A and B are shown apart, each in its own frame.
Chain A
Amino acid sequence: MKLLTKMMHLQEQHGAVTDSMLREMSKEEGVPLYRLEGLRGFYPVFRATPGRKMQVQVCRDIVCMMKGGPQFCSKVKSALSNAADVEVEEVSCVGRCDTAPAATINEVPVSGSVEAITAYATGGKPLPSNAPTTTPRRWSTDPYANEKEHYSVIKKFLKPGDDRQRDEVINILKEADLRGLGGAAFPTGMKWDLTRKAVGRPKYVVCNADESEPGTFKDRVILEELPHLLIEAMVLAGWMIGATEGIIYIRHEYAKEKKALQQAIEKARRFGALGKKILGSDTDFDLQIFVSPGGYIMGEETALLEALEDKRGEPRNKPPFPVDYGLWGKPTLMNNVETFAAIPIILERGAAWWGAQGKGNYKGLKYMCVSGDVAKPGVYCVPWGTTVHELLTLCGGVPDGKALYAFSPGGASTNFLPASKLDTALDFKAMQEAGSSLGTGAMVFMAAGRDVLELAISEVKFFRNESCGKCVPCRVGSHKAVDLVETALAGKPQPDLVALLQDLNSTLAQTSICGLGQVAMVPLMSVINYFPDDALPRLQGSAGRRK
């Protein structure tokens, strides 16, 4: 963390991390030059030479594509091409899909038309505030009526020396069937138990707050409005596994949310919920926030650990898993924001209560982030088992009276499904049986008239753009896949393209080191499989080619 923090500080102060700065840093820190170049060249926040005063970064991914219209990014670029001191860059999803089309200007999120963004960038319009909300909403997974009640669960469980309390917590989590909500769906109780039993000292607790998949912004809301739940869960995690240090790894695009989190941490310290002898127990635990230097891949758990170790964020080969070999090779408990945030209420009210919150046999409450062709995009906390249709209705349905054509239920890595699957329950297994995956709970609705092939390709491009480059199938394969499809869309599909794409997809899925490569072509393949009329004519070059 030391080197990256230093470099980010230099970047912030000087607008660049220059060669001479790195030479000096190399001497001060006793690290060879190549290490610093490796970091500077990998992480998007770093530049070797300062840029212009106004840095406009426009999102190029699926929801902003849908909302901004064709060529949105290029239009912003041309509109600002003559503006002095303004630089426009296309970036990957910034996590503000509910206010698409989204951009950031010097890290401050803005939204709106080309004209609006131009006005912000040229000073015609003052930038919106980047301060966290002072009026967070009430959410159903918050067991506390007011601030004074915060951290009661810690008080309940952190009794001195009693290991049976830990056993009890594990049992509750297992009974509640809480699963990892960052996309992997690994049973949380089991993960906590394994890390508790893992051999090695010191252990660490890490929160993966790097949500960066297009369409995903639920953690953003939890960070801003429910940070105390996250903090409490991490203290419990530390107590569970015997760790005294916790780190929250947050994406740099969430500056506002980071401020909220920082304020909550300071409050917690003053309250005695962080630090030494927490709330009268014999547990020591404290938290620090580490801001990511950028890149979607940093949300991959081992890439995240690599960054914390001041290396390029390239995923490790697994096994071993972080539970046994995590930060600095020691057992590390890593969970997603939403997963952590669910734990206090589960422990407060019990597994039975949690189970009763779901529909029918489903257990618990889920934060779904909804965007795309929907009247009221945003984050919704709904019972597990709610159907996609019910969710759509909750969000005000498809605007302008259009019919729904397709939806992507769980983020860029999940299969597009046709409207016929609307009655699928929001649940990992149910969504899998329907032919897709619940993933991160990022629901993107697509109305009739949308070019689903193009939208699917934008997801593949996202993965290509965000590939770390470590392994051959993902680095080269994702690039070639996009190349092949774009050539086809330009009117020159090569023979046997679909078969080739299937083979390529198979190799990426089977041989990539990490999840990114494994799913990079998935949306495209799902459109080929479930929306053949949209895909095949253009990819196969047969008669009836659509423009």
Chain B
Amino acid sequence: MATTARKLIKLTIDGKPAQVPEGTSIWDAARNIGIDIPVLCHSPRMRPVGVCRMCVVDIGLRVMAASCVRLCEEGMNVDASSAKVEKHRKMLTSLLLSDYPENSARESSTGNDQLLALARKFAIEHISLPDGAAGHARGSDMSSPVIAVDHQACILCDKCIRGCDELQHNNVITRTGKGYAARIAFDLNNPMGESTCVACGECMAVCPTGALTNKPVTSMRAAVGKQRNQKRGEA
């Protein structure tokens, strides 16, 4: 298919010049010139939603702009990395950490918990905010045979929703509730294992935290040199 050439836009990000086609987001433009703005809810595979606000940048307006959804404009001057911006990112990280469980299933299994990675990046050692994780109040759901749901670790980034609905089109996951009590839900707020989930694992794969992780899949050992019979519901 022929692509009509889009107008090129010039802007500055952290003092560096950038030139991008019209319709490019600030986040993409920054990445193109080697500036990796931290994100939690954004992935280039999905439609950006700008809910975690980690990617905010200062473009000289009354409020900061979420760079994953904000498009570049001619002559824009973007501050993506100053102390001012980083202060907000630290506060956002601390807000999420204050509700985070002590143990992240993602960190302990695949080691790539993105919230904890940000905590390390910003060297956050103490969180002065009230602890919202006491008693694991938000609960967990172990009904799926393959995916463990830990609502306490959920940061409502919407990635699982977009993965399930917009990538796989299995259309199972939604947010339900409102405000601080909002959480993800499957079908009509059914346990995941009783929903129309087909266990494709996309939600788990895109989840940045310990909210959706693989249950340990196999307990069968590779019996090298041995053969044993499995008596399991034989006729």
Q: Are B179 and A511 in contact (CB under 8 A)?
A: no
In whole angstroms, what is the CA distance A504 to B50 when docked?
19
Q: Are A480 and B155 in contact (CB under 8 A)?
A: no
A493 CB to nearest chain B CB (Å): 12
Q: Are B171 and A34 in contact (CB under 8 A)?
A: yes
Q: Are A475 and B156 in contact (CB under 8 A)?
A: yes
Q: Are B189 and A37 in contact (CB under 8 A)?
A: yes
**For residue B63, which residues in chain A have a CB less than 8 angstroms away from its CB?**
509-512, 518
**For residue B179, which residues in chain A have a CB less than 8 angstroms away from its CB?**
464-469, 475, 479
B176 at interface by CB-CB < 8 Å? yes
Q: Are A42 and B178 in contact (CB under 8 A)?
A: yes
Q: Are A476 and B91 in contact (CB under 8 A)?
A: no
Question: A469: nearest residue on chain B (CB-CB)?
Answer: B182
Stretch at the interface among B9-17, B51-59, B217-225: B51-59
- Report A's interface with B, CB cutoff 8 A: 19, 22-23, 32-38, 40-42, 44, 295, 312, 317, 319, 464-473, 475-480, 483-484, 487, 494, 496, 500, 503-504, 506-507, 509-513, 518
Q: Are A472 and B130 in contact (CB under 8 A)?
A: no
Interface string of B167-192 (1 = CB under 8 A from A): 00001111111111110011111000
Question: A484: nearest residue on chain B (CB-CB)?
Answer: B130
Q: Are A506 and B88 in contact (CB under 8 A)?
A: yes
Number of A-B contacts (CB under 8 A): 147
B28 at interface by CB-CB < 8 Å? no
Known A-B contacts A473-B53, A487-B130; the reply to A36 vs B180 at CB < 8 A is no
**For residue A513, which residues in chain B have a CB less than 8 angstroms away from its CB?**
50-51, 53, 66
B128 at interface by CB-CB < 8 Å? yes
In whole angstroms, what is the CA distance A245 to B176 when docked?
31
In whole angstroms, what is the CA distance A451 to B161 when docked?
44
B146 at interface by CB-CB < 8 Å? no
**For residue B128, which residues in chain A have a CB less than 8 angstroms away from its CB?**
494, 496, 500
Q: Are B173 and A477 in contact (CB under 8 A)?
A: no
**For residue A317, which residues in chain B have a CB less than 8 angstroms away from its CB?**
49-50, 66, 69-70
In whole angstroms, what is the CA distance A509 to B187 when docked?
35
A80 CB to nearest chain B CB (Å): 25
Residue among A22, A466, A472, A484 with the highest chain B CB neighbour number at 10 A? A472
Can you add 7 more A-B contacts, CB < 8 Å, to A42-B175, A510-B56? A22-B188, A38-B174, A295-B178, A468-B179, A507-B87, A511-B66, A513-B51
Contact of B92 among A19, A464, A509, A511 (CB under 8 A): A511
B196 at interface by CB-CB < 8 Å? yes
B99 at interface by CB-CB < 8 Å? yes
Q: Are B177 and A41 in contact (CB under 8 A)?
A: yes
Q: Are A468 and B178 in contact (CB under 8 A)?
A: yes
A37 CB to nearest chain B CB (Å): 5
B95 at interface by CB-CB < 8 Å? yes
